[in-house]
Structures are given as C-alpha cells and as structure tokens.
Structure 1
Amino acid sequence: MIREHRNREKLINYYKTFTTKGTIDPNVHPWIANSWQQSKAHQVNPKKISSNVHLSSNELSQLQNKHADAINYLDHFIDSIIDFIHEYDLCLTFMTSDCIVLKKYANISSRFIDKLEGASLGVENVGTLSCNIVKETKSPFWIFGPEMWFEEFHDVNSGSVPVIVNDELTYIVSLTALQHEKISQDVVLALLFTLKTALELNIKQSLNIKAQKAILDAAPFAVYHIMPEDKIVYTNRMGKERLSVINAIDENNVTAHLKDVVLNYTHTPIYDGFQGISCYNRETTWITNNKTYEDITTVVPLKNSEDDEEVQSVVTVSMPIEDLRTLVAHASGYTAKYSLSSMVGDSKTFIQMKERAYRVARNKNHILIQGEAGVGKQRLAHGIHMASMRMAGPLISINCGDFTPELLEQDLFGAATEPEVSHPGKLELASKGTLFIDEIEKIPNNIAKMLAQALSEKKTHRIGESLERSIDVRIIAATDSNLRRLTEKGQFNEKLFNIISRSIIRVPSLRSRRDDIPKLSINIIEELSRQHQMEAKKLLPETIELLRNYDWPGNIKQLQSVLEYSFFNTAGTNILPADINLMGNVKPDNKWKTDKEIFLKAWKAAGGNVSRLSNLLSVSRVTLYRYIKKYGLEK
C-alpha cells in the first residue's frame, strides 16, 4: 500500500501514546496498529535488538545456496545501481517469505547493517517493520520511521514489496532510506517496484527453463540447437551422452564442429537445414569414426522472420530407431505377463528349479529351458525376464513351429521390402530385452547358423540388405526335445547349441511333482475367478484327490484346460469329481467316430496312451486301433 507523506511529530506522539498507555490513536494505519499490538504481545523490547534471532554461518550458507539463482540475479542487477545506493545511503535487504535476510546491499559504513544477513525480521523478533507487514498482507507497504517498533529506527523510512510467483509469496525486498531527507519517497518506491517486476519475471523464466530442461532431459530423444559453422550451443542429456561416445564434447561441455566428427555431414538433414530445408521424421544415418547411428530425425531451420532468407540456426530432434522400436514393442504389449512368484509349487524338485531360475535370471548368459510339452516353459521364460536386469526392455516371442523356413527367417531377422524400405525382425525388436524362442529344435539349420553368428558378433542384417545393425539381446530358448542328443546326431546346429545352453533349466513334469497338484489346481480356479470377475468356486477334497492321482500327460496346460472346462460348466459353487472331464471340452458322447478333430483332442487328452483313451471313451483297444488306422494316424 502506497502512503502519502505523514507528519513525523504526530507519528512519534501516536507511538509514545501506544507504548506508554497502550492506546491506539484513530489516525494510526490499521496495519501498523495491528503490528504494534503483536509486537507488544511478543514482548519485543523497543530499546534493544535481540541477538538471538540470527542463523549460524553454516545455516545461512545453506539457505543462500538454496536461493542462489535469485541471489545471483539480484547481484547482477545491483551492480548497475550500486553507486546510486551508496550516494543516497540506502540499504536494500533481500529476504525469504519468512523475513529471513538472505543478502544485504549497502555502504559498508551505513548504520543498522551489522550482522543483518541471516537475521530473522519477523514481528515476533524485531517488532513492526515494513517487511513483516508485507509478509502478513502480501501487499507493498511503506512505513515511516516513527511507526517502526525500535526507537533507533525512527529517523529513517522504509518500504517493502512482495515478490510473488505462481500466486505464492516467494521473497520480500526492502529498501531503507537511512537519510530520508536525501531522497524522495517516489524514487525509492520506483526502484522497489522495478526490482519486484524484474525478480518475478526472472524467477518465472528460470522455473520455466528448469522445467523445460527437465522435460528435455527426460525425453527419449536427442535435442540439439546448432549455430552456423555447425557449432552446437545446446543439447539435452541424451544428446550429451551421444556426443561423448563420438568424442565430440569435452569435460567443459564445449562441443566440436559437427562437420569434423560426422563423416557424412553434407548428406544429413542438418546440412540441408542451413540451406533452409526442413525435414520431419526422416530416417537418417550418422556415420562417425566411433559409431554409426540410425535415427528418426526432424530438423527445423530458425529465421528472424518469415520473410528472412538467412537461416540463423537449426533445431534438431533425433530419436534412435533402436529406442523407438523398444517403445513400439512396449506399446504393442511385448512385455512379460508372469513373474516367477506366480509359479505355484512346494515340491523339492519344483523349488530347486525355481531357485535356479532366479539365479540364472541375474546372469548374462543365454538360457535353454527343457521340459515336456505343457509344463509351463513359456511362463517360466516370462518370469526369468521379469527377474533379470532386462526387465525394462521388451520381451518378444517367436515359435519356430509356426512358420515356413522363409517366413521364419524374415520374422527373425527382418527383410527389405523395397530398395529403400525394410522392416526389422524380432531379433532387432528385442534389443535391450529378451527374445523367447519356443520349439527351437524346429529351427532350420541355415537359419540356426545365421542366428548363431548374429549372437556371437552382436550384429545382424535384414534379409536383402548388407547394412549391419548392432543388437543387445538375450535368448531364452525352449524345447521339449533332448537338444544335446539332437546336436550330437547332427540334427541341430552345434554352435547355436553351445551359445544357448550355457545355462540350462529343466522343468519337471506335473506327474513327477504330484504333491503340487492340489495347490496348483486351487490357484488356477482362483485365477479364473479373478480374470473373469465371476463368483469363486471350490474344489472339494475328493475332486482334488482325483486330480492328484491322474498322470497328466499334457502337464499343467492340460490341467488348466480341464479346470477351465469345469469352472465354466459347473452350475454350483462346488466342483465335484463328476464335474471333472479329463478330456476337457471333449465329451464321451461326442461324435469322435465320425470327426477326426474330436478324436485327436481326446487322444491328446489321454497323452497318446491307447489304454487311457480306451478307458476315457469306454471302448476296447481293438476298436481304437481301427479308428487310428481309419484316420491315418500312427500310435
């Protein structure tokens, strides 16, 4: 609040009336009156300033470091007017929002400045001052000497302004005229409001710059601001990291000229940018002596105006294609769905297998998982990926039995579709993550050789291209065959076997850990209830015993199928033994005698065992052999 000049003698009388009689004259400004009452309530001695309201030198240093940006800015501002401050015997104090003095600016011979930095100028400590009124009201305020609580200040004047950023009181600036006759109130106020405006703008800009820097440093792409002569004047965190790899930036953040480090500089979008040519999301190769980068690049030339022909600088945003593929992989759902803790079982063999999986997950070896069909090799691969150092990377899966050799090769390595266009394979997409290869025993020998070479050299190229790309991938391979024996017979590539078999995990069959069947069955039913948001169902003890005594030739996958069928086809909440159909969704009364597919499902449910199938279908073995021959099947 800006106040007109007041009669000092009257103000002194108002002060004395209050300090001696406790009476507030009606002419006293309400904010002053309130502050005087607070000063008296806090028993502040108007004759002597307390020395117990001061930060230690260490505390002050820490506080100044915290507010270094604002102090540095004010230092530069005051440098330009320091002679003015000395000439008119002014004392400027820069305070926190709690009225703790961060910095003072005054002639060293001025009064009232001894130990001012670090002092707390709150009303509870020093009584009425313009700064503690500003703290309470968040409004500019001018105070005349006789209105201040300490009597030795009565021959000075002082004004304070709040520095408000984002609607919050951030700092307080006070300017005290120690010889008020030498300078007019208007001049002091003009200087105060100039400081207030300058500080608020600077702090807002500083906050915006910090936020923008934090955003750019967190972004998954490199950002560069490049001046003529190919000099980089700004780059974000990723940009600095990439420049360091190619020795284009020193410890003082001084960058080299791009044309001196990028060997194909004249063929890049940056060179075109200085010719006034923009580009957006262009695939670009950067060739240096240390490394070749492949990026998706955007370059925007900056000019003084739309009509200006001359390019002043260019802004470049460049994202590594490898990182882009990782983002796409995550967006496409290429992430692990199961953890090792989701695998249920208490049997000794299962616990040993699980403990080995945790150990193997933490090393860097490729992994071979062996076990019968349906034992949960894929879930185990997911769990190992989640327990590994690569858990933040993608988990990509491929099944060698799902493709023809030609399609498998393209799916694994990628392929060129046109002279200038190609797409990555799963080996590239899995970079920095894990590639799970199921049924690896079915991989053709020529593709196995290519894969072994790529894993050994950590480089690959797409089919139809000669350009090599670096890969950083871990293989988890799965098989239900004896891969070592196949290798010894020459039916599997030896080099690939040696690479993927450095860590082998053997998953036990379900029949070899029957004691886990009850817990595993209950867990499957609970998972089904949660997934489908259906009422929970209970497996009765006699039902669990039936499940426990079955051989489960299809292992956990078969158990899952049987329990799913029972879960969805049992009317009540209790699943009885009669509700268990060991052939899953194949009923004994199905027309298996005329439908080959139904017969095959029943045969798979029996694990290819004719005697078991005979019992399931309630027919003789002789009848079954007749239908096996009819459908052209081999036992």
Structure 2
Amino acid sequence: MIRERRNKAKLEQYYNKFIDEGVIDPNVHPWIAESWQRSRELGVGRDVFNLNVKLSREELDKRRKRYSTAISFLDGLYDQIKEHFTTYNLSMLLLDQDLYVLKNYAMPFYQKTAGELEGARILEEDIGTSSIGIAYRHKAPFLMFGPEMWIKDCQNGDACSAPIIIDNQVKFIVTVVSVQQEELPYSAMVAMVLSIKYAMEQHLALVSSLNAKHTILDAVPLAVYHILPGGEVAYTNKLGHSRLAGIIPPGSDDKGEGPNLNDVLLNYRHTPIYKGFLGVPSYNREATWITPRKTYEDITTVVPLYGDDGEVDSIVAVSLPIEDLRTLVAHTAGYTARYSLSSMVGSSHVFTTMQDKAGRTARHDYHLLLQGEPGTGKQRLAHGIHQASSRAAGPLIAVKCGDMPQDILEAELFGRGGSEAEGRPGKLELASGGTLFLDEIEKLPAGLQEKLAEALGANELSRSGESVTRPIDVRVIAACDTDLKRLVERNVFSAKLYEIITRSVIRVPSLRSRREDVPDLAIHIIEELAALHGLPPKQLSPEAANIIMSYDWPGNIKQLQGVVEQAFFRTAGDTITPADIIMPGEQGLSKAWKEDKDAFVEAWKAAGGNISRLANILDVSRVTLYRYLKKYGLDKD
C-alpha cells in the first residue's frame, strides 16, 4: 500500500500513547494498530532487535538451494542497481514464505550484519510490528515509517516490503530499508520495491510454466527439438537428448554446446529439417537420419517458426522412433500380461516350490524354458513371470510354433522385408523391450531354430527377404510339452537354441501330482468365470469337490477348466452339485452335440450364445463351432 509522507513527530506521539496508555489514536493506520495490539499480547520486547529463532547453516543452505531460482534472479537484479543502494544507504532482504531471511543485500539491516541476520526468522512474534509482517499478513506492498516499528532500534529507518505472489500464494517477501529519508524520495523507494516485485513474479511464473512444459515434454514418448538456422540444436527434451547423445561430437557436451546437425548428419540436406528452413513443413513423415555411427528411422513432423519479417527464424521437429512406435502398437494391440504369479492357485509343496522359483527367475533377464504336460498352465505362468520382471512395462507377445507353416511362421517371427508398403516387423521386433512367449517350441522347424538362435545370440535380426540388420531387445520364454533335452540328444532340436533358452528351466507339475490343489483350482475357476461374465458367484458342494478330486485329470488344468466351466453354466442355482458335473468320458453334451441339433442348442444356450465360451465347454476350436453352426442353420450373432 502506497502511503503519503507522514509527520514522524506525530507518529512517535501515537506510538508512545499506545505504549503508555494502551490507546490507539484514530490517525494510526488500522493495519499497524492491529499489529501493535498483537505485538503487546505476544509479549514482544520493544528495546532490542533480537533474533531468537534461527536456522542452522545446513538448514539455511538447503533452503537456499530450494529457492535458488529466486535468489539467482534477485542477485542479477541487485548487480544492476547496487550503486544506487550504496549511494543512498539502502539495505534489502529476501525472505521465504516462512519469513526466514534467505539473503541480506547491501548495507547492514538495522545494525545487524549479514551473518547475524541470514537464516533468522522475522515473524510478528519475533520482532513485533514491521512492514514485513504486515505485507505478509495482508498480501500487499506496505510502506512503514520508522516510529511505527515496534522495536525502538528499528525506528531510525523506513521500510517498504512487498510480497512475491505466485499462484495466489505468498512465496517470498522483499523488503528495502532506508535510513536517509531526506535524500531519497519515498516514491522512489516504493517504485523500486514494486518494480522488483513485478519482475520477480513475472520471472518465477515464467520459470514455473517452463518447468511444467519441460516436464510434459519429457514425459511424452516423442523426441522434441528446437533447431536454429544452420542446424544448431537450441533445445531438446529428455528423449531427444538421449537420441543425440550418441552423435554429439567429442567435447561439445563438456562445453555445454548442443550439436550442429549440419555437422553430424551425413544426409542433412535431404532431411525434413533442412526443408523446414526453406519454409516447407512435414507432417508424420518417415525419415532416415544417417550419422557416422548409426542410422536412425523416425516418424517426423517439422514445423517452421516465422519471425516478424516473415522469414523462418527456427523450426520445431517432433519425432517418434520407429522402435518406440512398434512398442506402442504392441501395447495398443493388447500385448500385455493378463495374469500375475499370485493368480496361480495351489498350496501343495510341488506347486509352491515351482511358484517360488518362477518369482526368483522373473528378477533375472535371461531366456528360460517352461517344461510340462499340455494344459498345466505354462502360458499363465509365462504371463506371471513377465509381469513380475523388469520388462513388465514392455509388451508380452505369444506365438504358438505349431500353428502355421514354416514360411508364414518365419515372417511372423522375423518380419518381412520390402518396400514401405510391403515391409512389416515380426514378433521379435514388436516384443523389443518386453517378452516373447514361444509356445510348443519343440514344433519350431529346424531352419527357424538355427535362425532364432543366431538372432538371440547377436541381439539383432534381418527380416525375411532383406539383408539389413535390426537390433532387438527381447526376453524369450519358451514352453515345451515334452522333454526337450531328449529331442536335442536325438538331433531333432537345435543344441545351440537349447543352450540359449535353458539358462533356467522351470518344470510345471501335472495336476495329478498336486491333487490336493484341485478343489481350490475349481473354486478359483468359478470365481474368474463369475467376474468375467458379470454373473453371481457359485459354490462348489463338498460332494462335487469329491468327484473332481477322484479323477486323474490327464488333460490337467485345461481339462479341469472345461469341466468346471460347463458345470458353471449348467447350474441353475448358486451351488454346483454332482448332477451338474459331466466328467470326461461320460455321456452328455460333449458327445451328443456332434450329431444331435437339440443337444448342440442346449450347449449353445448354456454358453449364452458366446462362441469362445462354447469352445471352452466343448473343448473344440472356434473354426469347428462355426462349421456346426452352419450345419444346424444357427446364427452366430
């Protein structure tokens, strides 16, 4: 608050009247009157400027580091006007939001040296009425004359304080004290404080905004560059910096210089960046960047920035590395783990031993083999290992090696070369940064076994039909239904690939070797079905549990899943009884539906018209079901 010059003799009378009689003169500013009242109630001494609460040197250093942006700005500003402070015997303080003195500038502040004052707290309860406390309380600049100060030692100088407000919060207080009022007009001191306030608020708001923008730019999966004419990189975000790190000329980083793309890109004049300086923008264009060390491929957007003269001053380039795009596509396609290790149910010794080993193995990054009978849950285990690994943020992609001919499987794994329209990455590339699950790896053709071993050993591959090598970073979890070592001994499986994928081998136990886990598994399957289809949960009666416990389950968990799922949808009530269970080999839907339309329709209704659910119930493929739907004249929708 800007105030007119006051008669100091009268101000001194007002102060003494309050001290001696406790009476506030009507001419006393109301903010000062309130502060005098509070200072008396707090019992603040009036004679000496005491600094009873003070930060240690270590605590002060921590605060200065935290507020280095504000201190650095005020340091620079003070350097420009310090002669003015010396000439007029001015002193200045910078205080933080807790009113601890961060720094003392220029002359001693109320006879206190910088060493005495810095780190001290100057609240109203510490020094009574002051322009600092009033500016802080009312969030407004305030000029206070000497006789209005609470402490007599401070009454020989006038002070003007201003809050530095960011986001409607007082972040700092700047105060200037003058002891030669005759030589310096009050208006000049107030104008200087208000100028400092405005400049600091603008600077700190801009820095805060820039920090937020930098955080946003660092978080996006894009490399962002601001490039000046001639190819100098003026700014880059975190990903962009990491991309440039490998091509910055030696010594440039030490000097704090950005690279000049004209010097490090061998094809600079043929890139979208060069054309951007000619005023030609590019949007989502595939670009190749050739450096002496490596060739990069990006999807790049370049936007020219024009100056007031209509000429291109600089450009902004935004690029998405091709390998990062593949990872994003993999995630979008749903290549993520659906199960955790904790979702696998069992309390038997053989199961918990396997589960513990899987947890330990997940923490390593080498390839591994899951070996066990069909239907034991190897795929779910692979999901759990991926989710518990350091690659959990990357994709999990599954390939069943026995599902397709060799040429199609080769393209599926290694990708296909050719033109931009024809070429595509394979699953080994798409899984980069994550995990590739190879089910039934024993069915992988011999030629592909050797090619896969070579790719995993070198961490690079060539797509089918091309000679260009591409880096890969993938962990393979392979699964086998038979003893893979015997296949190696019979020379029907690659010894080299076997060595690579068997750094660790986890043997998944059969269901008959963990028979005590069957009831818990059945209950877990029921709970998953209820949650998946939004249906009420159902119980498994003790009699039904005894029936499924008595069976050997040669088809393991997959076979148990089919029987329980069929019983779940057949049960009208909330409890599955023996009558609801059709065990493998018994007459029922599993046999009659192939020849009896009514039996098929009954199963179809039990599955709620859902193809995937019916396939699980009848243990057949979706293709087979479509054939029978056509045979019986049923609409799959």
**Counterpart Cα distance in 2 of 1:589 and 1:358:** 38
Partner of 1:298: 301
Structure 2 CA distance for aligned equivalents of residues 230 and 419 of structure 1: 28
Displacement of 1:585 after TM fit? 11
Check conservation: 2:90, 2:176, Cα contact below 8 A.
yes
- CA offset at residue 365 of structure 1? 2.8
- Give the counterpart letter for 2:6 in structure 1: R
Q: Name the CA distance, whole Å, in 1 between partners of 2:303 and 2:418.
A: 30
The offset of 1:296, in angstroms, is 1.7
| Partner Cα separation in structure 2 for residue 215 and residue 334 of structure 1 | 26
Structure 1 Cα separation of the partners of residues 510 and 471 of structure 2: 38
Between the aligned partners of 2:535 and 2:423, the Cα distance in structure 1 is 46
**Letter aligned with residue 555 of structure 1:** N
2: CA distance between counterparts of 1:377 and 1:549? 24
Q: Establish whether residue 466 from structure 1 lines up as the match of residue 467 from structure 2.
A: yes
1:499: how far off? 2.6
CA distance in 2: counterparts of 1:313 and 1:251, whole angstroms: 25
Say yes or no: does 1:274 pair with 2:277.
yes
Q: Report percent identity of matched pairs.
A: 50
Q: Please give the alpha-carbon distance, in whole angstroms, between the structure 1 residues aligned to 2:221 and 2:362.
A: 27
Cα 1:15–1:448 change in 2 (3 A) is: same
Cα shift at 1:350: 2.0
Q: Does 1:36 align with 2:36?
A: yes
Could you list the per-position Cα deviations for residues 415-469 of structure 1 after superposition, in whole angstroms to 9, with x for gaps in the alignment?
2464665221111000111111112233233333332222222212223333221
Give the aligned partner of residue 458 of structure 2: 457
- Equivalence for 1:390: 391
Q: Which residue of 1 aligns with 2:310?
A: 308
Could you tell me which residue of structure 1 aligns to residue 78 of structure 2? 78
Q: Aligned partners of 1:314, 1:80: CA distance in 2, in Å?
A: 34
Counterpart in the other structure of 2:535: 534
TM-score, structure 2 normalization: 0.88
Cα distance change of structure 1 residues 279 and 472 upon mapping to structure 2, 3 Å threshold:
same
The equivalences for 1:144-543 within 5 A come to 144-248=145-249, 249-305=252-308, 308-309=310-311, 311-416=312-417, 418=419, 421-543=422-544
Is residue 145–residue 156 contact of structure 1 (8 Å, CA) maintained in 2? yes
Partner residue in 2 for 1:105: 105
For 2:462 and 2:269, locate their aligned partners in 1 and report how far apart those are by CA, in whole Å: 26
Distance change >3 Å, CA 437–CA 584, structure 1 → 2: farther
Structure 2: which 5+ runs fail to align? 604-637
What letter corresponds to residue 507 of structure 2 in structure 1? R
Q: Decide whether the 8 Å contact of 1:278 with 1:299 is kept in 2.
A: yes
Distance in 2 between the 1:241 and 1:397 partners? 31
What residue identity is the alignment partner of 2:412? D
Confirm or deny: 8 A CA contact 1:561 1:584 kept in the other structure: no
Measured after TM superposition, the shift of residue 105 of structure 1 is 2.1
Mean CA deviation greater in 291-300 or 83-92:
291-300
Counterpart AA for 2:86: H
> In the alignment, which residue of structure 2 is the partner of 1:25?
25
SS of residue in 2 equivalent to 1:228: coil
Distance 1:483 1:8, change over 3 A: same
Shift of 1:477: 1.6
Amino acid in the other structure paired with 1:95: L
Q: SS of 1:402's equivalent?
A: coil
Task: Answer yes or no: is the 8 Å Cα contact 1:86–1:107 preserved in 2.
Answer: yes
Give the secondary structure class of the aligned counterpart of 2:60. helix
* Deviations, residues 83-115 of structure 1 (Å, cap 9, x unaligned): 112212222222223332222222369855563
Q: TM-score, normalised by structure 1?
A: 0.88
Residues in 1 aligned to 2:470 and 2:320: alpha-carbon distance in whole angstroms: 16
575-584 or 416-425: bigger deviation: 416-425
Secondary structure of 1:316's match? strand
Dislocated runs of 4+, deviation >6 Å = none
Which amino acid is 1:312 matched to?
D
Cα contact 1:449–1:495 (8 A) shared by 2: yes
Cα distance in 2 between the residues matched to 1:198 and 1:584:
86
Q: Does structure 1 retain, via aligned residues, the 8 Å contact 2:93–2:103?
A: yes
Q: Secondary structure at the match of 1:158?
A: strand
| Distance in 2 between residues matched to 1:147 and 1:108, nearest whole Å | 20
Matched position secondary structure for 2:543:
helix
Is contact 2:371–2:506 with CA below 8 Å preserved after alignment?
A: yes
1:582 Cα deviation after fit: 1.5
User: How far did residue 561 of structure 1 move?
Assistant: 1.2
* 2:50 counterpart residue number: 50
Q: C-alpha separation between the residues in 2 aligned to 1:512 and 1:54?
A: 71
In 2: Cα distance, 1:227 partner to 1:591 partner? 76
Query: For residues 481 and 543 of structure 1, do their structure 2 counterparts lie closer, same or farther at Cα, with a shift above 3 Å needed?
Result: same
Counterpart CA distance in 2 for 1:558 and 1:593 is 19
The structure-2 alpha-carbon separation of the partners of 1:572 and 1:493, relative to structure 1 and needing over 3 Å to count, comes to same
Q: What's 1:64 paired with?
A: 64
Counterpart residue identity of residue 175, structure 1: V
Q: Deviations over 1:192-246 (max 9, x none)?
A: 1111100000000111122222222333232222223322222222233233333
- What are the Cα deviations for residues 339-390 of structure 1, in whole angstroms up to 9, with x where unaligned? 1221112223222322332233333332222222211111011112122222
Shift of 1:178: 0.7
SS of match in other structure, 2:424: strand
- CA distance in 2: counterparts of 1:419 and 1:47, whole angstroms: 85
Where 2:479 maps in the other structure, the secondary structure is: strand
> For 1:4-61, what per-residue CA distance to the aligned partner results, in whole angstroms no more than 9, with x for missing partners?
2222222111111100111111221111111101111121221112242333333333
Asked if 2 retains the 8 angstrom alpha-carbon contact of 1:98 and 1:135, the reply is: no
In the other structure, the counterpart of 2:90 is 90
> Could you tell me how far 1:263 is from its partner in structure 2?
2.9
Distance in 2, Cα, partners of 1:55 & 1:175: 22
- 2:383 partner letter: H
How many residue pairs are counted as aligned between the two chains?
A: 597
Higher mean Cα deviation, 553-562 or 4-13? 4-13
- 1:74 and 1:555 map into 2 onto residues whose CA distance is 74
Cα distance in 2 for partners of 1:535, 1:584 equals 29
> Could you tell me which amino acid in structure 2 is paired with residue 165 of structure 1?
I
In the aligned structure 2, how far is the partner of 1:452 from the partner of 1:152? 85
- 2:631 corresponding residue in structure 1: none
Write the letter of the residue equivalent to 1:425.
G
CA distance in 2, matches of 1:516, 1:258: 63
Deviations 1:157-186 (A, max 9, x none): 222111111111111111222111111111
Q: What SS does structure 2 have at the residue aligned with 1:70?
A: helix
User: Structure 1: how far apart are the matches of 2:194 and 2:109?
Assistant: 26
| Contact 2:14 2:25 survives alignment (8 Å) | yes
In structure 2, what is the Cα distance between the partners aligned to 1:164 and 1:71?
Answer: 15
Aligned partner letter, 1:554: G
Task: Name the counterpart of 1:545.
Answer: 546
SS at match of 1:99: coil
Work out whether residues 90 and 175 of structure 1, in 8 Å CA contact, stay in contact via their aligned partners in 2. Answer: yes
SS at the partner of 2:182?
helix
CA–CA separation in structure 1 for the residues paired with 2:63 and 2:570: 70
Which range is displaced more, 24-33 or 577-586? 577-586
- Residues 44 and 522 (structure 1), Cα distance of their counterparts in 2 relative to 1, 3 Å cut: same
1:275 shift after superposition: 2.9
Aligned to 2:625: none
